[in-house]
Chain A
Amino acid sequence: MKRISLLTVAAVMVAAAASAQGKLTVITTTEDLAAIGREVGGDRISIEAMARGYQDPHFVEAKPSFILKLQKADLLVAVGRELEIGWLPPLIQQSRNMKIQPGSQGYLDASLGAAILEIPTGTITRAMGDVHPQGNPHYWMDPENGKRIAKQIADKLSEIRPADRAYFQQRLADFTTRVDAAEQRWLAQMAPYKGTKVVTYHRSFPNFAERFGLDIVGYVEPKPGIPPTPQHTLDLINEMKRQNIKVILVEPYFDLKTPNAIGRETGAQVLVMPPSVGGTKDVTDYFKLFDYDINLLVDAIKKGGTK
C-alpha cells in the first residue's frame, strides 16, 4: 500500500508539473456551470460541459466519450444535490483521474455554497416521486446563486493555480458587479408582475420564482419524475381555471402535448422556458438566460393581461 501511494504521489507530481504551464482543463456537468466558469476563468482555462442545455440533466447517458474528457480534467464542477446521480458516478469512477474523485481537490460540488430550496424534512419515500433528498438542484436559476457558484469556482481555480489568483479574483469581482447590475434590471422588469401565478412542468424553477416573485401553484407532473396522469391533469385544469392562471412554463426537454391540452382548456399560454444556458440557441451565456426567460415571461403576462 505504501508503495502504491508513493507511486501515486510521484504520478500526481509529474502530472502537476506537466500541466503547470498550460491552461487548466475544467469540465462541468451542465452548460450553466460552464458559462459561469468561463466568466471567472477567462483565457486561463479551457472549459466544457458534458450535458447540453436542451437536455434533461437528470437523464444524461454515461457515454465513454465523457470518460475521455474527464480523464484529462484538472477540475470537475458538478451541480450536486443528486442531479447527476444517474450518470456522473460511473464516469468519475472510470475516468482514471485521481484529481477529480469526490473529496479530492479537483472535485467541486457547487451546491455546497449555494442557497438550496425544497430540502425535504421528515420522512421521505419514493412514493413522493423521484424526490431529491438534499433539496432542489435547480438552484442556478437565481442570480444570487450564480454569484455564489462563481465565487466557489474562482476560489477553487485559485487554489489549484495560486499564481493566477489575482486574475481569477478580479474576473470574479467583475462578474459579480455585472450580475448585480443585471439583477437590478431584471427585478425592475418583473416588479410590476410580482405574485403572478404560474404552473410549471417539473420543479425546475423554485429559485427563479422566489427571486422574481412568481407564485408557482402547480405542476404538470403529478410528482417529480412521474409523467402526467389524466386525473392530475384534470385537477390541474380545474385549479388553473379557479385561480385564473394564464401561464404554463415548460422546460425544453419535455413533451408539449399535455401542456398544450391544458393551455387549450384554460386559455393559458404555454411557454417553452429554458432553465439552462444552451436551452435554446439564443441563450449563450448566463446573462442571456435571464434576459431570455424574463422577456419571454413579461411578454406573455402582458399579452395575457392577467396577473
Chain B
Amino acid sequence: MRNACAWVAAAGLLLGSASSASAQEPAALRQEIDQLRRDFETLKQQYGDRLTALESKLAAAEGAAPPAAGQPPATPPAAAQPTPPAAGQPPAAPPAAEVPTGAAGAGGPTGTLPVYGSTVGGAKVFNPDIAVIGDFLGAAGHNSVNPQPGFEMHESEASFQAVVDPYARADFFLSFGEEGVTLEEGYATLTALPGGLLTKVGKMRAAFGRVNTMHNHVLPWTDRPLVTLNLVGGEDGIDDAGISVARLIPNRWLFLEATGQVYRGDSDELFHASEPSDLSYVGHLRAYQDVTENSNIDFGASAAYGHNFAGIVDGTDRGRFTTTLYGIDATYKWKPLSRSIYHSFTGRTEWIWSRREQFNGTQATWGMYLSGDYQLGRRWFVGGRLDRSGQANDASLVDTGGSFVVTYYPSEFSQVRGQYQRTNYGIGSSADQFLFQFQFAIGAHGAHPF
C-alpha cells in the first residue's frame, strides 16, 4: 500500500512537471486521472487480497478434507498450508490424496506397513513436522571428576512428529552426538483408548520426577543436577523401551494424574536387565492446582524399581540385585498474565532417595536440588541451583554444588547461556567451572514446555 501510494505520488509529480506549462485546464483532468488511478490501485489491492485469502482457504480446505486423518496437531489446519499462489500448483491439479504403495485402497491393515518414499508431490502433505535443535557447549576451568571438553557440539536433536492414523500419533527424537546417534525418544501415543487412558508405546523418558522427563534443550541450566547424575542413571536418566499408561483421577479440587510405566529394564547405569523378565517399573502421581490466574503449584511423587548390574561377575548376574528409587518434586510458577512475555518466576525442587543392593550391602542415600529462575525482561533470565547428592554405589560419599545461570534469548528460536558452577566432590576434590551454551532451533514451531 505504501509502495503503491509512493508510486502514484511519484507518477503524479512527473506528470505534473512535464505538463506544468499547459496550466489550468489540464490540471483538473490530471487530478481526475490521478484519482482514477488511485481508485484502481486500491481496487486492485483489495481484489488481490481477497483472491489470496480465497486461494489459501481453498488450499486449507483441501488439506483438511480427508475426514479420517486428524492433521498433526502441531500444524493445525492444513499441512498443505503454504501453497502460495505464486509457487502453488495450478488449481486444476489439486493435491489428490495419493495413496502410498502398499496401502491399497487405504483400507484396513494388509499385513505389512505401506512403503513410503514416493516422489509424488501430494504425498508430502503427510510428512511429519521436522525440527532440529543444536546444543553447543563450552567449558572452562578444571574438573578432574567429571571433565568436559573445551568445546563440544553436545547434541543435535532431530524431531519428527505427526499423526499416524485416527487412533495414534508418533513422536521421534533422535539425538546426534558428535559421533553416534541414539534414539532419545520414539513412541506412539494412542489417543483413542477408552477410559481416559493416555497410552504411550516405544522408547521414552520415564515419568520419574520432573527433570527426568525434560529434554536437554528445555532445561534451565547447561547441565543436569548432581542428583540426576549420581542417583538416576546419569545424563540420560531413566530412558528406556516400554509402555506407559496415564489416567486422570477425577475429583472436584485439582488436576490429579497417575502414571504407570513398564520398561525393559536397561537405563544407563541405573537399571540393567540380565534376563528378559528383569523389567523395571516407574510410577508417578502428579497434582496440579492454579493458585491464582498468575501462579500455580505442581507436586509429584514417584517411585522406580529395577535390577542393577552390581551383581554381575564374569558376565553372569550372581547377585540379582535391585535398585529402588523414591522421589518427590514441587514446582511453583508465577507469571503475570498481562506481562507474561516480560516477567516470570519458576521455583523447583526434587528430592530423591535411592536404595541400591550390592555385594557390600544395601547403599541407602539421598539427593536433592533446589532451583529458581527469574525472568528480568523479554530476553533475559537469571537463575541458580543448589545441589546435594550421595552416590548410589557408595553412600558414604556426598557431592554438593551450586550454580549461577544467566540466559539471553535473541529470539524464540535461539538462546545463549552462561553458567558458573562450583562442585565439591565427596572424594575430596572440588571444581570451579564456567560453562557456556548456545542453542538454536530450526524447523517446525514446537510447543513451549510447561
Contacts and interface: CB of A to CB of B under 8 A. Distances in A.
Interface of A: 1, 4-5, 7-8, 10-11, 52, 54-56, 59-65, 67-68, 71, 78, 80-82, 84-90, 92-94, 96, 98, 101-104, 109, 111-113, 115-117, 119-122, 124, 126, 129-130, 133-135, 210, 215, 217, 225-227, 252-255
The 6 nearest A-B residue pairs measured at CB: A103-B70, A89-B73, A11-B194, A121-B84, A64-B288, A64-B255
Interface size bracket, B side:
35 or more
Given A103-B64, A112-B61, A112-B64, A4 B193 contact: yes
5 contacts: A88-B73, A102-B71, A102-B73, A116-B56, A121-B52
B56 A134 contact: yes
Given A63-B450, A64-B288, A109 B77 contact: yes
B25 interface: no
Nearest to B161: A89
A82 B349 CA distance: 34
A82 to B, nearest CB: 7
Contact of B52 (A4, A81, A89, A119): A119
Contacts of A124: 82
Interface in B40-70: 49-50, 52-53, 56-57, 60-61, 64, 66-70
Nearest to B335: A61
Given A88-B73, A255-B339, 9 more contacts: A59-B340, A62-B447, A68-B248, A68-B255, A94-B198, A96-B196, A103-B67, A103-B69, A252-B338
Contacts of A82: 75-76, 445
B341 A59 contact: yes
A130 B412 contact: yes
Contacts of B289: 65
Interface in B74-90: 74-78, 81-82, 84-87
B189 A93 contact: yes
Contact of B194 (A7, A87, A116, A210): A7
A109 B197 CA distance: 26
B192 A85 contact: no
B1 A215 contact: yes
Contacts of A87: 447-448
Contact of A121 (B86, B290, B296): B86
B213 interface: no
Interface in B146-195: 163, 166-167, 169, 189-195
Given A54-B337, A130-B412, A103 B81 contact: no
B342 A255 contact: yes
A302 to B, nearest CB: 24
B237 to A, nearest CB: 21
Nearest to B379: A227
A87 B81 CA distance: 20
Interface of B: 1-2, 49-50, 52-53, 56-57, 60-61, 64, 66-78, 81-82, 84-87, 109, 163, 166-167, 169, 189-198, 248, 255, 257, 286, 288-290, 293, 296, 298, 333, 335, 337-342, 378-379, 411-413, 442, 445-448, 450
Nearest to B411: A226
B196 A71 contact: yes
B296 A63 contact: yes
Given A68-B255, A117-B53, A78 B76 contact: yes
Contact of B84 (A92, A119, A254): A119
| Residue among B86, B195, B248, B290 with max Cβ neighbours from chain A (10 Å) | B248
| Residue among A7, A103, A124, A126 with max Cβ neighbours from chain B (10 Å) | A103
Contacts of B50: 115
B36 to A, nearest CB: 17
Contact of B82 (A65, A133, A252): A133
Given A55-B340, A71-B196, A102-B73, A64 B257 contact: yes
A34 B71 CA distance: 24
A8 B2 contact: no
A101 B1 CA distance: 39
A115 B48 CA distance: 12
B250 to A, nearest CB: 9
Contact of B77 (A86, A98, A112): A112
A93 B161 CA distance: 12
Contacts of B198: 94, 96
B340 A253 contact: yes
Contacts of B61: 112
Contacts of B84: 119-122
Contact of B296 (A65, A115, A129): A65
B379 to A, nearest CB: 7
B340 A56 contact: yes
Contacts of A54: 337-338
Contacts of B446: 86
A52 B167 CA distance: 32
Contacts of B413: 126
B450 A61 contact: yes
A94 B81 CA distance: 25
Nearest to A218: B2
B448 A59 contact: yes
